[in-house]
Structure 1
Amino acid sequence: MKFDTSRFIFIVKGLLVGAAVGIVVSLFRLLIEKFLVLINFLFMQAHNNSIYFIILAIIMLVSLIANSKFIKDEPNIKGSGIPQVEGQLAGELEMNWWSVLWRKWVGGILSIGIGLFLGREGPSIQLGAAVGQGIAERTNHRGSGRRILIAGGASAGLSAAFNAPIASTLFILEEVYHNFSPLVWTTSLAAAIAANFVSLNFFGLTPVLHMSYKLAFPIHYYIHLVLLGIFLGLLGYVYQYLTLNIDRFYKLFKFIPSNWLAIIPIILLFPLGYFLPDTLGGGNSLILEIGGNIPTVWLLLGIFLLRLLFSTLSYGSGLPGGIFLPILTIGATLGALYGVVAAHFGLLPDKYIVDCIIYAMAGYFACIGKAPFTAILLITEMVGSLHHLMPLAVVSLTAYTVVDLLRGRPIYEALLEKSLKRYTPHPDEFTDQLEIPVFAGSYLQDKQVRDITWPKECLLVAIQRGEKQTIPHGDTLIRSGDTLVIETGDAHRAEVARKIGHIANDISNWKN
């Protein structure tokens, strides 16, 4: 009997990548938490002794100077890092893994740890991808093998940050890599499990956002899930607009070099930390606090406006930090706000407000990231309960539909397009492969291979149908569910993927 060891070998490699990423990201997460505790302590002490303000000013200045230097030397560390990883996997840009890894790690701690409204999850994904790339290059992988290890590292990074290996794997496949081939998902899942195991040894078994709930949401109250989804979808579109257009605000400060723009949110951080120290950071503790002690309507409204404006301002400065956790925090606030208002008017019992908080986190992320499956699984793993699956699905789908009707786009894809500069591939070109799925309703569906005008830079070398791979001929019929294996030069990979995507969507003005 002859064994097929290709997947097994990549699963083993995924486990190795995941273990390495787990250590890197767990230390990253731990130091951010400790740093944030220190900053909170200093702000509290500043009420009694002004010397602590001087200490805070020195810390903030060090963070500003260090990050401005890091961003100038390595622009790819700006922001969450998820758009950069997505662009790298698509062949739109390339990164030096070591340059990104250490600067993102140090810069992320210095920007997220000082209390800005930034998340650790996006940077963790980029850190994981950098580790995966480094291991791939050290083991002489290139092309698809290299991308698989980068995707595995990215999955491991999110898993270590959130302790949610299933959702982390799905997020990379659904939102970042856009590829569900068995080799990709098995490697990514193995890496995510290994990273999660390492992270659990650092932080324990308690889910990141564990909340106690009293009862499952009754069927006769499901109309509230639809209304909550609509509410989240409308405000999710607002968040998308502000995040994608915050650069217009920063353009008002043309006299400040782009790598020094962080001075604006850092200055604003001083009064915020002095008067509201409990609100600092990405929002993990704030979510748990809201869930454990429901605030009043006016306080929730104030928290929402503060988180909405200052999180977009923090992210727009270009500092290493993400929007993943800030999105969940705003979602939790909106869920509490809806629940409190509904309870006030006697439309919903108080005991279901916590349920609304949980559902709203998923719905808000689903509509902004346009990744509803990831949102459902992520909140399920982070909260630690399977009792919410149906309500989570209703809220997520409703919110997603609202943003889709408003022509909102996946936030990370839109951020990538805004920041993308045309990447010039390395002159050492080599033959590479693409795997392109054929979805139901695609123009490619039920067409013979000869009926398609394929881009001249590529060659269709195989069609994957289930577990079987066949070599296509001119009369081979392409079916929905097939995966097309395309061979092309590494320099043309992104261009070929775009052209075939245009064909699949039957864009009439496509030109060969």
Structure 2
Amino acid sequence: MDKNKEYHFLKPLKYRVLWQSLIIGAAGGILVSLYRLLLSWAENFSGKLYASVFGDPWKIILAFCVLIVMGILIGYLTQYIPAIKGSGIPQVEGRIQGKFFSSWWKVILGKVFGGAAAIGAGLSLGREGPSIQLGAAVGEGLAQSLHRDETESRYLITCGASAGLAAAFNAPFAGVLFALEELHRNFSLHVFLPAMVSAITADLISKKFFGLTAVFGAPSITALPLRFYFLLPLLGVLLGICGCLYNHTLLFTQHLYSKITFIKRPFVMILPFIAAGFAAMLCPDILGGGHKIVTLLLEKDLTVSYLLILLAAKFVFSMISFGSGAPGGIFFPLLVLGSLAGTLFGLGAISFFSLAPDCLSLFLFLGMVGMFTGIVRAPATGIVLIIEMSGSMNQTLSMALVALFAYLTADFLRSKPIYESLLENLISSKPKKYQLAQEKIFLEFTVEAGSFAEGKTVKELQWPYHCLAVSVLRNGCEIIPKGSLQIEAGDIITILCSGKEEDICRQKMANQLMLHS
């Protein structure tokens, strides 16, 4: 590739991706909205079916037979299309990082059918992970149709993922932040602008299907008086600990499933489906993602004993469901667990500190933010997501405090973000034949203040082998990176490298350009 061509490639890319992101947002918004409708119908149908079955022994036996057949079918489906296992978010992250790829149209068909069957049967799984993966598959489909190179394909996949989350929860800004904070981990304009276009477009379309009401449609949330703000760090620490427990238990559950060798692998999927049948008989409120639980918490006064039962049962059922590899996400169920933990904490605060009962709904949403941050470690996404889902924007400070202490607690306990751990497990189990065909790609890095690179010249940096600096963006102006150019904090350095050397390049450049190194 010619040097000048490499350099000027960056300018048209930004504008070309914008109009493509509009198409992805529209297509992704329609696909995810239809997926939401399908899940809603499946959940309502199975709920009525469960209610009509239990009480008649023969119908109960028939119901479990149907669940076993569904489990076997989903087991074979996930074996035929491994990319649809679990939430799909680790698969999207791995694809963006160039670790592996899969057939985008198979992912769409498999995830729609598999997710509808699993969530419709009542497994404790969410729609957000599949929605993100469906949106990403739309982005990859467009990239392949237009024969885009690897760098541009990753931008389009990120746009699709952003559109997927926006349409799943009517949360466009959370979709953008998730794309930046969790998927790309880079607040580059090359990602931000197209992701925003895609997310807003998808959100507009989803609102045509589901209206303008927030997902939870919460009533006005009573503000927490300043004299009670000392409770927020305590809640954050508690939720950070809960997040660590959740992560370790989930990974351990996956490990236990992998040790089941006395039955064929597809038949292992029978276990969560049978568990769903027992859950329907013993505690039907924990079935599905958990929207019903949040509605109960907002509309009814539940006893502490029942809240504890719901929390324990939902936690165990979520582990059984997701650990199996069934198509479905952990996003929504973990928010529900956070809402239960936050409500219990709020009831304790009302009892011991004479807090006004009107503040209880606030603690429900604070619990969601803290649990999400402790598990996913994406605090900005968590705060914005809950603001958009609750429809309330006047509790940003309290949410930020809970998220901060939940993050610090999880970091202190050295608990890895759950999607990072899931991606590592996925990569380690991935056969070499599925590894992505490598080619030259562009990478962006922001120079942090206080890093090794600040104040150094380009020639003083230790550049990885087969790596070329093609651009330095400073104050909106692009500069050719000559050897004598002095690097400043805030510079955005664009690098061309071999796909085979991507991991080494990322590590070496991060060591020089980022402060934590």
User: Same fold, TM exceeding 0.5?
Assistant: yes
How far apart, CA to CA, are the structure 1 residues paired with 2:116 and 2:93? 23
Q: 2:473 aligns to what?
A: 464
- Letter in structure 2 aligned against 1:437: T
Taking a change above 3 Å as real, the CA distance of residues 294 and 438 of structure 1, as seen in their structure-2 partners, is: farther
Q: 1:257 aligns to what?
A: 264
- Letter in structure 1 aligned against 2:44: V
After superposing the two structures, state which structure 1 stretch, 186-195 or 9-18, moved more: 9-18
How much identity, in percent, do the aligned residues show?
A: 38
1:132-281 equivalence runs, <5 A: 132-281=139-288
Unaligned runs of at least 5 residues, structure 1: none
**2:469 is the counterpart of 1:452:** no
After superposing the two structures, state which structure 1 stretch, 128-137 or 478-487, moved more: 478-487
After superposing the two structures, state which structure 1 stretch, 154-163 or 66-75, moved more: 66-75
How far apart, CA to CA, are the structure 2 residues paired with 1:258 and 1:445? 52
How far apart, CA to CA, are the structure 2 residues paired with 1:53 and 1:497? 55
- Picking from 112, 117, 126, the partner of 1:110 is 117
- Picking from 349, 354, 365, the partner of 1:358 is 365
**2:464 is the counterpart of 1:481:** no
Unaligned runs of at least 5 residues, structure 2: 1-10
Deviation at 1:59, TM superposition (A): 4.0
Secondary structure (helix, strand or coil) at the match of 2:493 reads strand
Deviation at 1:424, TM superposition (A): 6.2
Secondary structure (helix, strand or coil) at the match of 2:472 reads strand
Taking a change above 3 Å as real, the CA distance of residues 47 and 395 of structure 1, as seen in their structure-2 partners, is: same
Q: 1:410 aligns to what?
A: 417
How far apart, CA to CA, are the structure 1 residues paired with 2:251 and 2:438? 34
Secondary structure (helix, strand or coil) at the match of 1:265 reads helix
After superposing the two structures, state which structure 1 stretch, 483-492 or 46-55, moved more: 46-55
Contact kept, 8 Å, 2:450 with 2:515, in 1: the verdict is no
Secondary structure (helix, strand or coil) at the match of 1:461 reads strand
How far apart, CA to CA, are the structure 1 residues paired with 2:136 and 2:475? 28
- Letter in structure 1 aligned against 2:264: P
Deviation at 1:277, TM superposition (A): 1.8
- Letter in structure 1 aligned against 2:122: G
Secondary structure (helix, strand or coil) at the match of 1:253 reads coil
Contact kept, 8 Å, 1:83 with 1:413, in 2: the verdict is yes
After superposing the two structures, state which structure 1 stretch, 459-468 or 429-438, moved more: 429-438
- Picking from 66, 70, 74, the partner of 1:67 is 74
- Letter in structure 1 aligned against 2:147: N
Deviation at 1:174, TM superposition (A): 0.3
- Letter in structure 1 aligned against 2:263: I
- Letter in structure 2 aligned against 1:106: F
Q: 1:339 aligns to what?
A: 346
Taking a change above 3 Å as real, the CA distance of residues 55 and 25 of structure 1, as seen in their structure-2 partners, is: farther
Taking a change above 3 Å as real, the CA distance of residues 507 and 324 of structure 1, as seen in their structure-2 partners, is: closer
Residues 235-262 of structure 1: CA deviation (Å, up to 9, x unaligned): 1111111112212322452213333322
After superposing the two structures, state which structure 1 stretch, 481-490 or 51-60, moved more: 51-60
How far apart, CA to CA, are the structure 2 residues paired with 1:139 and 1:113? 36
How far apart, CA to CA, are the structure 2 residues paired with 1:371 and 1:414? 14
How far apart, CA to CA, are the structure 2 residues paired with 1:427 and 1:327? 31
- Letter in structure 2 aligned against 1:220: R
Residues 217-242 of structure 1: CA deviation (Å, up to 9, x unaligned): 21111111111111111111111111
Secondary structure (helix, strand or coil) at the match of 1:56 reads helix
Residues 276-304 of structure 1: CA deviation (Å, up to 9, x unaligned): 22221011221121122131111111111
After superposing the two structures, state which structure 1 stretch, 149-158 or 437-446, moved more: 437-446
Taking a change above 3 Å as real, the CA distance of residues 31 and 201 of structure 1, as seen in their structure-2 partners, is: same
Count of residues in Structure 1 that have an aligned counterpart in Structure 2 = 505
Deviation at 1:74, TM superposition (A): 1.6
Secondary structure (helix, strand or coil) at the match of 2:424 reads helix
Secondary structure (helix, strand or coil) at the match of 2:229 reads helix
Taking a change above 3 Å as real, the CA distance of residues 426 and 407 of structure 1, as seen in their structure-2 partners, is: closer
Contact kept, 8 Å, 2:67 with 2:270, in 1: the verdict is no
Q: CA RMSD in A?
A: 2.0
Residues 367-421 of structure 1: CA deviation (Å, up to 9, x unaligned): 2111000011000111011111111111111111111111112110111012214
How far apart, CA to CA, are the structure 1 residues paired with 2:383 and 2:435? 40
- Picking from 385, 389, 392, the partner of 1:382 is 389
Deviation at 1:49, TM superposition (A): 3.5
How far apart, CA to CA, are the structure 2 residues paired with 1:482 and 1:294? 54
Residues 140-166 of structure 1: CA deviation (Å, up to 9, x unaligned): 112221111100000001111010000
Secondary structure (helix, strand or coil) at the match of 2:496 reads strand
Taking a change above 3 Å as real, the CA distance of residues 427 and 234 of structure 1, as seen in their structure-2 partners, is: closer
Q: 2:505 aligns to what?
A: 496
- Picking from 385, 399, 403, the partner of 1:392 is 399
After superposing the two structures, state which structure 1 stretch, 260-269 or 33-42, moved more: 260-269
Taking a change above 3 Å as real, the CA distance of residues 426 and 286 of structure 1, as seen in their structure-2 partners, is: closer
Q: 2:52 aligns to what?
A: 45
Q: 2:443 aligns to what?
A: 434
Contact kept, 8 Å, 2:25 with 2:200, in 1: the verdict is yes
Q: 2:8 aligns to what?
A: none
How far apart, CA to CA, are the structure 1 residues paired with 2:304 and 2:59? 34
Taking a change above 3 Å as real, the CA distance of residues 365 and 256 of structure 1, as seen in their structure-2 partners, is: same
Contact kept, 8 Å, 1:43 with 1:52, in 2: the verdict is no
Q: 1:89 aligns to what?
A: 96
How far apart, CA to CA, are the structure 1 residues paired with 2:414 and 2:508? 22
After superposing the two structures, state which structure 1 stretch, 267-276 or 115-124, moved more: 267-276
Deviation at 1:178, TM superposition (A): 1.2
Residues 192-217 of structure 1: CA deviation (Å, up to 9, x unaligned): 11111111111111100221135222
Secondary structure (helix, strand or coil) at the match of 1:486 reads strand
How far apart, CA to CA, are the structure 2 residues paired with 1:141 and 1:287? 43
Secondary structure (helix, strand or coil) at the match of 1:262 reads helix
Contact kept, 8 Å, 1:46 with 1:274, in 2: the verdict is no
Contact kept, 8 Å, 1:123 with 1:320, in 2: the verdict is yes
Deviation at 1:58, TM superposition (A): 4.9
How far apart, CA to CA, are the structure 2 residues paired with 1:184 and 1:94? 20
How far apart, CA to CA, are the structure 2 residues paired with 1:453 and 1:380? 43
Deviation at 1:504, TM superposition (A): 4.1
Q: 2:309 aligns to what?
A: 302
Secondary structure (helix, strand or coil) at the match of 1:460 reads strand
Deviation at 1:112, TM superposition (A): 1.4
How far apart, CA to CA, are the structure 2 residues paired with 1:374 and 1:135? 26
Q: 1:24 aligns to what?
A: 31
Taking a change above 3 Å as real, the CA distance of residues 252 and 424 of structure 1, as seen in their structure-2 partners, is: closer
